[in-house]
Amino acid sequence: MGATTKIEWTDSTWSPVTGCDKVSPGCDHCYAEGIAHRFAGTPQFPNGFGVTLRPERLGEPLRWRKPRRVFVNSMSDLFHKDVPDEFIARVFATMARAPQHTFQILTKRPGRMRSLLGDRVDGAQRLLEAATDEDTATAIYDAPWPLPNVWLGVSAENQHWANLRIPTLLGTSAAVRFVSAEPLLGPVDLTRIPFQAGTATHLDALNGRYGHPGRWEAAAEKLDWVIVGGESGRGARPMHPEWARSLRDQCTAAGVPFLFKQWGEYITTEQMTEATYMTWDIEHGSAQYHPSVQWRVESTAERMAIHRLWKHPTTEDERQVRADITSTAADFESAHAHGDEFGARLHLDRLRQLVLRAMTYLDDRMESAAQ
Position 185 pLDDT exceeds 50: yes
Omega prior to 183 cis, within 30 of 0: yes
Confidence of residue 249 (pLDDT cuts 50, 70, 90): very high
Average pLDDT over residues 159-185: 97
Burial of 101 (0-12, 13-18, 19+ CB in 10 A): buried
Confidence of residue 368 (pLDDT cuts 50, 70, 90): low
Average pLDDT, the chain: 84
Confidence of residue 270 (pLDDT cuts 50, 70, 90): low
Position 251 pLDDT exceeds 80: yes
pTM of the predicted model, to two decimals?
0.75
Confidence of residue 109 (pLDDT cuts 50, 70, 90): very high
- How far apart CA 156 and CA 315 sit, in angstroms, is 38
Q: Tell me what pLDDT residue 114 has.
A: 95
Q: Per-residue b/e over 293-316, b at no fewer than 16 CB within 10 Å?
A: ebbebeeebbbbbbbeebbebeee
Lowest mean per-residue pLDDT among 7-21, 69-83, 332-346: 332-346
Average pLDDT over residues 12-38: 92
Average pLDDT over residues 254-270: 84
Confidence of residue 299 (pLDDT cuts 50, 70, 90): very low
Position 371 pLDDT exceeds 70: no
- 108 versus 296: the higher-pLDDT residue is 108
Q: Tell me what pLDDT residue 301 has.
A: 44
Average pLDDT over residues 174-195: 96
Q: Tell me what pLDDT residue 241 has.
A: 87
- How far apart CA 181 and CA 200 sit, in angstroms, is 26
Position 289 pLDDT exceeds 60: no
Residue ranges per domain, the chain? 12-298, 299-371
Q: Tell me what pLDDT residue 197 has.
A: 81
Lowest mean per-residue pLDDT among 120-129, 165-174, 183-192, 297-306: 297-306
Average pLDDT over residues 349-360: 72
- 217 versus 288: the higher-pLDDT residue is 217
- Helix (H) or strand (E) run with residue 352 in it: helix 341-370
Lowest mean per-residue pLDDT among 154-168, 245-259, 353-367: 353-367
In this prediction, what percent of the chain has a pLDDT beyond 70?
Answer: 80
Termini Cα distance of the chain: 47
Question: Helix or strand or coil: residue 234?
Answer: coil
Confidence of residue 40 (pLDDT cuts 50, 70, 90): confident
- How far apart CA 72 and CA 83 sit, in angstroms, is 14
Average pLDDT over residues 119-139: 87
- 259 versus 369: the higher-pLDDT residue is 259
**Residue 98 CB coordination number (10 Å):** 21
